[in-house]
C-alpha cells in the first residue's frame, strides 16, 4: 500500500529527512520510504520512485511530504510522524534559536553575517532580505539561478557588503569556520576560493606547514564563469587587500574564461601584497603548489611505493575540485568521479556528510578487472562525517586492489588528522600528504 501525508508549511533540512527516511525504511513490512520537501524536483524524484500519490502531488514547495509503501502503510506513517516529533539532541548548551531573520537580529543585534541554508527556491529572497538589513551573506544553498546570483552580488557591491555563494560550502571568517571547514590557525594568508574543498585543502596544508589563515572567503563555484564575471572574487580581493592582517593573497578556482581570468589577474597586479594564483591545471597549477608557494616551503612528500598494479586508476571523490585536480594530474592514466555531483546526490545527503554513498561505487570497482588502483579523498572538519576513514574501510573490506588516499584536515578537527591517517594506514591504505601527491603516486603505480 502507498500512502502520502503532507505537512503544510513544515521544513527540515535534507540530512535530517534522509536519516528519518532510512529509519522508517528499515522497519518490518516497509518496502520504501521517503521524506522530502515538496519542491517540483523532489516531487519528480518521488514520482520516479513510485512513491507519489495524489495527496503528495498537491504539496507546495514549503510543505513536507511523507511517503511510504508498506504492507501496513498506516502503521509506517505513524512511525514516520513519531520520528519527526522526536526532539533533536542539544548540540550546544544555551544555543538560541528563532524562526525569522528579524527575530534573529533582535537576539543578536551586533551580528553582521547571515548564513543562508534553505531550499534554493527561497535562498535568493532570504539573501536579499539579509543584504537589505546590512548583513554580509554566505549562501550555502544551491539551485539559485545565475541571474539571481549576479543580481545579489551587484546588490552586495552597491551596499559595500560581501556575498559568498550561492553554493558556497566553506568559509573561514576571522577564525570562525563556516559550513564544511576545518580548525585552522589564524595567520597572514588570505584565501579567496571558488571551491569549497579547494579552500579546505589549501588552508589545511598551510596549517600543516606551520602557517595560518586570516580569512578564507568562498565565492561560489560559478563566480568565475563568464556570466558572473568574478564579482565575488573581485570583492573578496578588495576586502583582503584592505585587511591589515593579510600579507599574502591566495586565489583558487577551476580554469575561468580567458576574459574573466585577465580581469582577476589585472586586479591582483594592482595589489601591493604578495599573491599566489591557482587556476587548476593552468601551467601545472595544483592546490598543493598554491599552499607551498604561499608558505614558501615544500610539503614533506615521502610516501612508500605501494608497488605496481595492472590496469587503470579510478578516483572516487567526495570533493568536486579535488576530483578535478586528481584527473588533471592523472592525465590518460585514469578517471575520477565526483560523487558530490547532482546526479549522485538527488534526494541524498552529500557524501562528505554520508560517505556510505561511495561504498556502493567501491563495490562495483572491486569487481572490475580493468581497475588496478583506487584513489580517494578523506575530508575532515565541521559538517563532515564523524569517521570518514572508518566508512571508507568498510567499503574496502576484502579488497586486493591498491588503495591510495589523502586526508584533508588538521589535528584540531573533530575527527583528528593523525587518528584518521593511522586508521587508514593500519588497514593497508597508502596515505599521501596531499591530493596532488596522492594522484601522482597513483599514476606512477599503474601499468598497461
The predicted-structure confidence for 59-104, as pLDDT tens digits, reads as follows 998 899 999 999 999 999 999 999 998 876 555 556 778 878 999 9
The Cα 124–Cα 158 span in angstroms is 17
Q: Provide the pairing of β-strand 64-70 with 30-37.
A: antiparallel
Q: What is the pLDDT of residue 90?
A: 52
CA torsion, points 176, 181, 183, 188, in degrees to nearest 10?
Answer: -70
Q: What is the pLDDT of residue 282?
A: 84
Fold of 309-447: Rossmann fold (3.40.50)
Q: Is CATH 2.60.120.10 what the domain over 101-295 is classified as, yes or no?
A: no
Q: What is the pLDDT of residue 347?
A: 63
Task: Output the nine-digit C-alpha cell for 217.
Answer: 572567503
Residues in the chain: 448
Query: Has this prediction a pTM greater than 0.95?
Result: no
The predicted-structure confidence for 205-252, as pLDDT tens digits, reads as follows 999 999 999 999 999 999 999 999 999 999 999 999 999 999 999 999
Coil/strand/helix, residue 429 = coil
Q: Is 150 exposed, middle or buried (0-12, 13-18, 19+ CB in 10 A)?
A: middle
The DSSP string of 79-123 is HHHHHHHSPPPP-STT----SSHHHHHHH-TT--EEEE-S-HHHH
Q: What is the pLDDT of residue 394?
A: 95
pLDDT < 50 stretches in the chain: none
Directed axis angle between helix 231-242 and helix 258-270, to 10°? 10
Q: What is the pLDDT of residue 2?
A: 95
Amino acid at each position: 500500500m502507498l500512502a502520502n501525508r503532507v505537512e503544510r508549511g513544515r521544513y527540515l533540512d535534507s540530512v535530517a529527512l534522509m536519516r528519518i527516511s532510512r529509519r522508517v525504511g528499515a522497519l518490518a513490512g516497509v518496502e520504501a520510504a521517503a521524506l522530502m520537501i515538496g519542491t517540483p524536483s523532489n516531487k519528480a524524484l518521488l514520482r520516479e520512485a513510485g512513491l507519489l500519490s495524489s495527496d503528495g502531488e498537491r504539496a507546495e514547495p514549503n510543505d513536507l511530504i511523507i511517503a511510504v509503501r508498506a504492507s501496513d502503510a498506516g502503521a509506517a506513517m505513524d512511525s514516520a510522524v513519531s520520528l519527526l516529533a522526536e526532539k533533536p539532541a542539544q548540540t550546544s548548551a544555551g544555543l538560541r534559536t528563532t524562526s525569522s531573520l528579524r527575530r534573529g537580529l533582535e537576539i543578536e543585534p551586533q551580528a553582521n553575517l547571515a548564513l543562508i541554508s534553505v531550499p534554493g527556491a527561497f535562498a535568493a529572497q532570504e539573501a536579499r532580505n539579509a543584504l537589505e538589513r546590512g548583513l554580509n551573506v554566505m549562501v550555502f544553498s544551491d539551485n539559485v539561478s545565475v541571474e539571481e546570483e549576479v543580481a545579489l552580488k551587484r546588490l552586495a557591491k552597491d551596499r559595500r557588503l560581501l556575498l559568498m555563494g550561492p553554493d558556497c560550502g566553506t568559509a573561514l571568517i576571522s577564525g570562525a569556520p563556516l559550513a564544511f571547514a576545518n580548525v585552522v590557525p589564524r595567520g597572514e594568508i588570505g584565501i579567496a576560493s571558488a571551491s569549497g574543498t579547494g579552500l579546505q585543502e589549501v588552508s589545511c596544508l598551510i596549517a600543516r606547514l606551520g602557517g595560518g589563515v586570516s580569512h578564507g572567503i568562498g565565492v561560489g563555484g560559478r563566480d568565475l564563469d563568464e556570466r558572473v564575471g568574478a564579482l565575488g572574487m573581485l570583492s573578496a580581493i578588495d576586502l583582503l587587500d584592505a585587511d591589515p592582517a593579510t600579507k599574502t593573497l591566495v586565489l583558487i578556482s577551476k580554469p575561468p574564461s580567458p576574459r574573466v581570468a585577465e580581469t582577476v589577474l589585472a586586479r591582483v597586479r594592482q595589489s601591493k601584497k604578495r599573491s599566489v594564483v591557482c587556476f587548476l591545471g593552468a601551467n601545472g597549477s595544483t592546490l598543493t603548489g598554491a599552499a607551498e608557494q604561499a608558505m614558501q616551503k615544500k610539503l614533506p612528500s615521502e610516501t612508500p611505493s605501494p608497488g605496481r598494479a595492472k590496469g587503470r586508476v579510478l578516483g572516487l571523490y567526495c570533493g568536486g575540485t579535488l576530483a578535478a585536480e586528481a584527473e588533471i594530474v592523472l592525465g590518460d592514466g585514469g578517471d575520477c568521479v565526483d560523487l558530490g555531483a547532482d546526479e549522485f546526490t538527488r534526494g541524498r545527503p552529500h557524501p562528505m556528510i554520508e560517505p556510505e554513498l561511495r561504498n556502493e561505487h567501491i563495490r562495483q570497482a572491486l569487481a572490475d578487472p580493468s581497475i588496478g588502483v583506487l584513489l580517494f579523498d578523506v575530508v575532515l572538519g565541521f559538517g563532515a562525517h564523524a569517521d570518514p576513514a572508518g566508512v571508507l574501510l568498510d567499503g574496502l573490506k576484502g579488497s586486493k586492489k591498491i588503495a591510495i588516499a589523502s586526508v584533508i584536515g588538521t589535528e584540531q578537527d573533530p575527527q583528528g588528522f593523525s587518528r584518521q591517517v593511522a586508521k587508514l594506514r593500519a588497514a593497508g591504505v597508502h596515505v599521501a600528504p596531499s591530493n596532488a601527491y596522492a594522484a601522482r603516486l597513483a599514476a606512477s603505480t599503474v601499468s598497461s
